[in-house]
Amino acid sequence: MRTKLKEVSVHDAIGLRLAHDLTQIIPGTFKGRLFKRGHVITETDIPSLLDIGKEHIYIMELDDAELHEDDAAIRMAKALADESLRLTEPHEGKVGLKSPIVGITYIAKEVVEAINGLGEIALATVKTDALVQEGGPIAATRAIPLVVSKKKIEEVERIAATYREQNEGRAPLGVRPFRKMRAGLLTTGGEVYHGRIQDKFGPAVAEKLNALGSEVAEQRFAPDDRQEIVKEIHYLLSQGYDMILVTGGMSVDPDDRTPGAIAAAGADIVSYGTPMLPGSMLLMGYIGDVPIMGLPGCVMHDPYTSFDVLLPKLLAGDRIVREDIVGMGYGGLLVR
């Protein structure tokens, strides 16, 4: 590289442009950009520069083979991002990528690892299939030194372009939208069916679906009777709902009949039992193309369970397979 740096006293820097952002740190109060790259220094800026320990600034001249940290971060972000993602303004060599919608992320892990293997640049992301809100961060690109080789950024662009070519134009980083689904909810248990206790499953499940743009279209109730549960499942199927959710009776007690009833209703069981706590007693299956889930009691009162992991994938149009369930055990112990 042939970067030319000229050191200039701040007292002689009036009228010159900063080559990079300058950060101010006030312990326990503030850390952020005090002056932006390209800022033209004025006489009134000198006390602030001295306050952050800058008695000199640097004027930078780059040759054609080099990129400033901000320009490098921008080029990386544009190469990797789906066109719908929102890019933040570059700041200290970093560009953030944010979601335009509520959805789940797709992150090409092999691309992330290949880019981070190049050195002097960084790509940090959330995991794939992570639930993200509108405006939520999914990734950030960063140049480590102030000046980066242009060839290194061109290699990032080549890696991203190759991934797109091999995946029908899909970008390495993006967010999949949810489709609106109408769920049929069946709550089992004699205590609720006969009105001895108030149902709390319905409101809890409805709240989780509503938060992701879907809804409980109808809720039915059944006692702890296998045939009655089967009959109600068939009724909900007949209504054409996109998903069937069955609550109650999911433990291994002899009088808990829900898992057997779901199987008797014709479900192809993907898994009864999920390696995640809370939520290990969840049942996942399908009747034809309609997903059916047996929900354990923790869904009523725990903010995050196995149901909260699988629901976004269903809303994104995925068909849950055994491998999805097996993979939930890694990181599936939710410590409180």
CB neighbour class for 314 (10 Å; exposed up to 12, middle 13-18, buried from 19): buried
> What local confidence, expressed as pLDDT, does residue 82 receive?
96
- Residue pointed to by tokens 């797109």: 164
Look at residue 175 and give its three-state secondary structure.
strand
> What local confidence, expressed as pLDDT, does residue 288 receive?
97
Q: Does domain 66-177 have CATH number 3.50.50.60?
A: no
CB neighbour class for 130 (10 Å; exposed up to 12, middle 13-18, buried from 19): middle
Q: pTM here?
A: 0.82
The residue among 36 and 118 whose pLDDT is bigger is 118
Where does CATH 3.90.105 sit in the chain?
Answer: 4-61
Where does CATH 3.40.980.10 sit in the chain?
Answer: 182-329
> What local confidence, expressed as pLDDT, does residue 154 receive?
98
CB neighbour class for 233 (10 Å; exposed up to 12, middle 13-18, buried from 19): buried
- Give me the residues paired with residue 336 across strands: none
User: Domain 4-61's class?
Assistant: alpha beta
pLDDT at 106 over 60: yes
Where does CATH 3.90.1170.30 sit in the chain?
Answer: 66-177
- pLDDT tens-digit series, residues 9-52: 888 888 777 777 788 888 888 888 888 877 778 889 889 889 88
**In the CATH hierarchy, which fold is given to the domain comprising 182-329?**
Molybdenum Cofactor Biosythetic Enzyme; Chain A (3.40.980)
Structural element, H or E, at residue 231? helix 226-238
pLDDT at 76 over 60: yes
Q: What is the band of 91 on the pLDDT scale with cuts at 50, 70, 90?
A: confident
Look at residue 61 and give its three-state secondary structure.
strand
Mean pLDDT, rounded, of the chain: 92
